[in-house]
Amino acid sequence: MITVEGYVRFADAGDFPRIRDTAFAQMRASRAEPGSLDYTYAIDVADPCLMRVLERWESWQALETHFAQPYMAPWRAPLAGVTVVERNLHAHEVVQSLKV
CATH number at residue 34: 3.30.70.100
Instruction: Could you list the beta-strand ranges (E) of 2-83.
Output: 2-10, 36-44, 47-57
Count helices and strands (H / E) in the chain: 3, 4
For residue 99, being part of any structural domain is answered with: no
Q: For the chain, how many structural domains are there in total? A: 1
pTM of the model: 0.87
31-35, 55-59, 60-64, 67-71, range with the lowest pLDDT: 67-71
d(CA 53, CA 65): 18
Provide mean pLDDT across the span 10-22. Answer: 88
33 Cβ neighbours under 8 A, 6+ residues apart: 62, 65, 66, 69
Provide mean pLDDT across the span 28-51. Answer: 95
For residue 34, being part of any structural domain is answered with: yes
Provide mean pLDDT across the span 32-38. Answer: 97
Averaged confidence pLDDT in the chain: 92
Contact 17, 41 (CB under 8 A): no
For residue 98, being part of any structural domain is answered with: no
For residue 45, being part of any structural domain is answered with: yes
d(CA 16, CA 19): 5
Contact 15, 83 (CB under 8 A): yes
For residue 13, being part of any structural domain is answered with: yes
- What does DSSP assign to residue 86? E
Flag whether pLDDT at 41 surpasses 90. yes
